[in-house]
Structures are given as C-alpha cells and as structure tokens.
Structure 1
C-alpha cells in the first residue's frame, strides 16, 4: 500500500466515522414523493454554492437532481476514482459532495443523487465524446457498480437531505445492442426476449444494484431511468415493475429531439414547434396532442404494472431556449404533467458550462465572459432573472415558493 492510498483510506475512515455519529434520518423519505414535487436539474461544472440553492428554492422548487461528474477530482473520475476499475470512494470527493448536500439542506431542498458515470460506463463527455458500452457487455462492471452504490448508500443512508438515489443517468444498453430508438412495441418486446439474462438486461441490472443498496440502506427511495437515454417509451418493453416497493420510475422528455436540440438551430431552415418533425423512422406533426400521447406511454406502463402514479417522475425535460417555439413546448409538456400530477425537474438551472437550456437568459446570447469563466475554471457570474421563456416553469414553481408562503401570512 502506498502512502497516498493509506492517507486516502484513513481520511475516508474518519469521514465515515463522523457520519456514523451524525444525525439520524428524521423521516422516511418515501413520504416526500407521495405528493407532486417540482424541481430542477443541476449538472454544473463547479459544486453549487449557497446562493445557487437559495435561488432555486426561492422560485419554489422542492428538490434538485444533482449530478457531480463535471466536478474536479484528484483522480480520473469524480467519486468513483476510475470508471475502468472501481476500488472505493474517493474521500476528498465524498467530502465535497457532503458539503454540497449541506448547502442544499440549508436552502430547504431535497436532493436526488444522480451519477452520469458508473464503472464500465464513463459519461461520453468525460470520455472523448465516445459512448462507453462496456457496462452493457460485461457483468464484471455490474459487480463494480453494485459495490460503488453499496459504498455510497452506506455513507448517505442517514442524510435527511437525500430524497432518492438515481442509479444512473440515461442508460442506453439498447444503443449498441441492435434496437433502434423509438422502435415499435413489437420490436421492443422481441429484442428484450433475446437480451434477458445478458449484460444488456436493464431491469436485471437495476435489481442487482438495488439488492446491494438494501444490504446497507433499507429505506432511501431509489430512482431508475428507462432505457434509450431515459426516453418516455423506455419502460415499454419491461415485462413488470421492479420488486422493490420504494422505486421511482423516471423518464426524460426532449421529443421531438430533432426540433428541441441544439443542432436544429444550425439548419438552414430549422424545424419548428409546433410543426412536422422527424421522429423514429419518419416525420410527424408534433403539437400539444402529440406530446400528450407520447407522454402517456410511461403512465400507461405504470398503470398496467400497478405502479402508483406518484412513483412516476419526469426527471428531465427541456428545449433549446432560442427555438421560437420553446416557450410553447415547455407549456405543452407541463400541461400534460400537471394533469398527471407528476413529479418533475426541468433541465436545467443556471448551468455554468452550457447555456442552451438556461431559460433565465431568455433568447440572448451569453457574453464572452461566460466562456472565459469556463476556460479559467472560475465561477459563472452572469445575472439571471425571470423571462418569458422561463415563465411556464417559474409560474408553476412559484405556487410553492417560500416567498409566496410569506405573502400569505396576515
């Protein structure tokens, strides 16, 4: 054992001891999800400061879906050390995560921990832009991923800020496995029949991770994304719900992606919303009715498999803010989610490395100082404010704003 490894293990042991002597979870967090919860996604390159969390809570958010994979680590991959071979949590990174959770708690926010990488599945933006399919080819990485989640759950199990563990963001075992995106239901069923028991069996993978977590943490809710990057039709081929009764099922909504994504604005004639847009193997008219029928899929699956509606989560949704129909798109998506009384988290809140879905910026381009801050690894200093683009989200959040509550007092 090297001196560096010894010091890291000693630091981790001290941190774990301190946490074991810390406060016990005050309440069973599954109750938090019994009523609709609305929040935002935090995928920032720097750990969010207190002002960030205060601002999100000030709008009325009750939770934040927190990803840490862009944060700087002394090792290759934040918290897991090395996605090529997991050997234990990185003590320094764990301390950074815990301090961030404390800031969220001080603001009155619940947190859903959301890794973008697992052993054998390094997030593409940390992997030279290449999709990492190893997790879906070799079950040895399943074992390492289970060990990671067991270790992390053992540390966080009594943290009252943590409302759920989101096991992995946007898994896509289908991508290199021969199933086209948005395939027909028949094709999905046929594909899964061939893949059951293999390393591409997403429900089985989740069952392994849940079993590992429950060995040390029987209570904290667990959130799982559907397949094909969390698409709303990603649960469609699952033959049944997972056995654990404390599971939340999360889907993401960016469809029609050809219109809502950044590459669309580079087209000579960008696709519009509402409008006819490529989807699957053809083109379709996308409007509020098509949004509603598409989003019905995860809720239809839930009803068929006796999953309560309050266990379904729109974990991400959004569109490029400069798209002329973005505001209408957000309104249409949220109208459907309102009717379902669904939990949701918009993408994204004050992201400091990608401005395209930062609705507080309206339709304006960011100044050069924004990109300079990224290059210099300094905090983003742009001022944000309410805009027409943010209104569909902010108006709904404001119903739960602490400022609104104060105004109601005599």
Structure 2
C-alpha cells in the first residue's frame, strides 16, 4: 500500500489531492516508552530496567527486551488495527533508546532501527505513523510516564536537556523527511512547564530546527499542562496541528457512572462536549486542525460499568466527528486496564508477577487506574495535615491532593516495590525470560471485542478510513 503525503490546510488535514483526511488511530503505549500500568512493573521504566538487568543478567536482559520489543508490535498487530478500520498509530518513544545520559548527543543506531521497523509494519498495513517523543531528558512533566523518578520537570530549567531534544529531532527529521508514511512529528508529549515561560520559546526554537531539515511533515504540538493549556501559543505555525488530550472523568474515576456522577459532579454528553470545546478553543479560534492525541476510559471487568464507559467512548467519538477532529485512542495493548488488546491473565508473565500486581493494587501504587482505598489510614492524616497547615498550597499541575498522592503512593511506595518486582524473576534463565516477554505477542493476547466493535461501528458509519492509492 502507498500512503499519500498529508498536510494541514485550514481546519482540516488533507491528502495530496486536497481531500480531507481524518486520522483515526491508537497510541502504541508501553512499547518504546514503557509505562507501569501497561506492563505491570512499579515506578518508572528506568527503575524497572535497572532491576531486571540486575536479576536477569546481561544475556537474559537483552533477550527479554529484544523479544518484548519484537512481539509487542508485530505484523499481526498492525494488520488487526487496519482490519478494524483504523488508519494511524501514534508511536511513543523514550529518548533513552536514542542516547545515553553519559554520552549526550551521541545517537544509538538501535533506537532508529526499532522506529524503522514499526514504521515499516505500519506501511505494510496501510497505517500512518505519528512519531511521539514521550520521555525527554530531564523529564518534561512531573509523572512516571516521562520516566521521571521525582516530581520535578527539570527539562524546562536546563538548557542542556533542551539542546539534546533539538539535536534528536534534527536527526529524526533528517531520517524520515522523505517518508509519507510518517504523518508527522509529535515532538513533546504532555509538557508541563510550571512557569509557563519556557515552553513558548522552546517550541519556537524546535519548530525552526525541524523545519530547517524537513519543511514538509506536519507538526503535532501538545499544549502545556499535559496538553490542556494552549496559552503559550499566539500565532499558529504553518502546517501544524495543535493537539489536546481529552480524558473524561467518568471514564477514569472509581465508582463513576455515565451518564451520571463522577467525584460529585454530573456528566452527560453535553458536559463532555463542553470540556472538549474548552480544550480545543485555541484550534477553533485559529482555524487549525484538531487532533485528540490521547483519550479513552479504563475498564473494570464489571460488564455494566464497562458498558457505561463504552457509552462514554461512543459519545466522545461522535463529538470528535461533529467537530472534524482526528484522534488516537490510548492505548493499544496492556495487561487489561485499558487496551484494545491485552495479555492473557493466564500468561506466564502475568502469573509470575501476580504477587506484585496484588500489592500494587493494595497500596494504590499506580497513578493510572490505582486507588488509595487500602491505605486511607495513611493518606487521610497526611491530607488533613496539609489542609490544616498549608491551606493555600496548590502545587502545579493538579493541586494539593494529587501532589500528596504522587509523592506518597507513586514515588515513596513505588520505589521499594521495584525490588519486589525484580524478585519475581529470580532464577529465570535467558530462554525463560524470552518466553515471558512473548506473553505480549498478538496471538497470545486477548482482544477486548466490545471496544473493537465500538471503534469499527463508528468508523464504518462515518467512513473515516483513509483509502490508499
């Protein structure tokens, strides 16, 4: 299949013939940028990798991750996405695949090779690829998904880190400048510049650097504050899409219903659309295309509640269509919380790490999908102390209570739990390690059929598939 070049033309993306293109796809979370709720480890990707290298040894570690990276996204995965009617894949990656901190600016060939492979698989299936730098040196936001072991986003205060990202994007743009399968570049995932002063100048510098190498590809630029705040932008750049993330509270909050209540607020389609309109005000005001780079509920295993969340998903998809927005569902594959496809609960990998998964849930260690029900006796007094002693304290980006949760649950408790995760692999041989990683192969995974059907029905009804020429 041959995919046409696309570009931003007013409010829409268009192909070479000027025909509108709506990108309808998924994010490939957990692959070249790993996340704890997606594959089950606690803490950050770097903490997990360090622990597994120690317990598996050099050979076991290499064979485990080579198999994981091969099987997590392969031909069958790309073909399955195309069979649903999707036309694009957002590919998140961690800068560590491309350079080491002790050798900054020296790029590693293997990172480019893995990207080449994924783009090739997309091309064969007729899928566009959007390249997404999801974890930046110094961390561009305060949370685990930027491989950040702290609560500080140091990227915005160190010119050195910014220079390295510019250098990496110059290399990526040079490599893919002539490849139309790459729909475009998403240079910074969910930035969170607390000052609000660094992100604007950095984006200006980044746009100029990429355009000097590659003037043709679309840029997909996330807003500040985790892609929800576009106040740093004034005049839009040429051939650029401004991307919002649109997670809806009834799809995330424990005990929520839709339509119905979530954390004391009532949600229906009108409220969900109001949130979308607020988050995309900049794009509509400037007449630029809209791309929802991430959205999607998490699932509970309870059929009634999960049907409620699929109802929310359908409403969001209909809202996006009504406003001409492209989208990428988060996420394609995981261990059962959110994925379109997920590892079999009886797989060797999930059986092996089951004690850690139970402990993670009990302690509320994961931010995404985790709750603190089991440790309210610990959390409540801390929250009360802060409310009493620091009533004016509302730290960036989400306020006092999420800040306490980040420090206590997702850092203080998560870090020692990495050791528990590593002990699950005691005595595992290199061959066994390889087989464990193979638990993520498409043929060994479970499909979330109701979700696939909801996407397929929406795409067939709306005719949003890209027709290759």
TM-score by length of 1: 0.71
Q: Deviations over 1:378-409 (max 9, x none)?
A: 2414444463344332212345598x99xxxx
Residue 346 of structure 2 is matched in structure 1 by: 367
Residue 56 of structure 1 is matched in structure 2 by: 81
Residue 239 of structure 2 is matched in structure 1 by: 246
**Kept after mapping to 2: 8 A contact 1:124/1:132:** no
Residues 148 and 359 of structure 1, relative CA distance in 2, 3 Å threshold = closer
- How far apart, CA to CA, are the structure 1 residues paired with 2:321 and 2:248? 18
| 2:287 counterpart (303, 307, 314) | 307
| 1:377 counterpart (415, 431, 437) | 437
Deviation at 1:89, TM superposition (A): 2.1
TM-score by length of 2: 0.63
Matched, 1:397 2:459: yes
Residue 225 of structure 1 is matched in structure 2 by: 222
Residue 158 of structure 2 is matched in structure 1 by: 138
Residues 226 and 54 of structure 1, relative CA distance in 2, 3 Å threshold = same
- How far apart, CA to CA, are the structure 2 residues paired with 1:51 and 1:131? 38
How do 1:261-280 residues align onto structure 2 when only pairs under 5 Å count?
Answer: 261=252, 264-265=253-254, 270-278=255-263
Residue 366 of structure 2 is matched in structure 1 by: none
State the SS of the aligned residue for 2:438: coil
Higher helix fraction (1 or 2): 2
| 1:78 counterpart (59, 72, 97) | 97
Q: Point out which structure has higher relative CO (alpha carbons under 8 A, 6+ apart).
A: 2
Residues 372 and 378 of structure 1, relative CA distance in 2, 3 Å threshold = farther
- How far apart, CA to CA, are the structure 2 residues paired with 1:28 and 1:254? 27
- How far apart, CA to CA, are the structure 2 residues paired with 1:365 and 1:378? 11
State the SS of the aligned residue for 2:133: coil
Residue 149 of structure 1 is matched in structure 2 by: 169
Q: Where does structure 1 lack aligned partners over 5 or more consecutive residues?
A: 1-24, 70-75, 178-194, 406-410
- How far apart, CA to CA, are the structure 1 residues paired with 2:316 and 2:352? 33
Question: RMSD of the TM alignment (CA)?
Answer: 3.1
Q: Deviations over 1:35-72 (max 9, x none)?
A: 22211111143251111111101111111101233xxx
Q: State how many pairs are aligned.
A: 328
Residue 42 of structure 1 is matched in structure 2 by: 28
Residue 163 of structure 1 is matched in structure 2 by: 183
Matched, 1:327 2:286: no
Q: Where does structure 2 lack aligned partners over 5 or more consecutive residues?
A: 9-13, 32-68, 354-424, 426-435
Deviation at 1:327, TM superposition (A): 0.9
Matched, 1:92 2:110: yes
- How far apart, CA to CA, are the structure 1 residues paired with 2:316 and 2:4? 34
Residue 7 of structure 1 is matched in structure 2 by: none
Matched, 1:260 2:251: yes
Residue 336 of structure 2 is matched in structure 1 by: 355
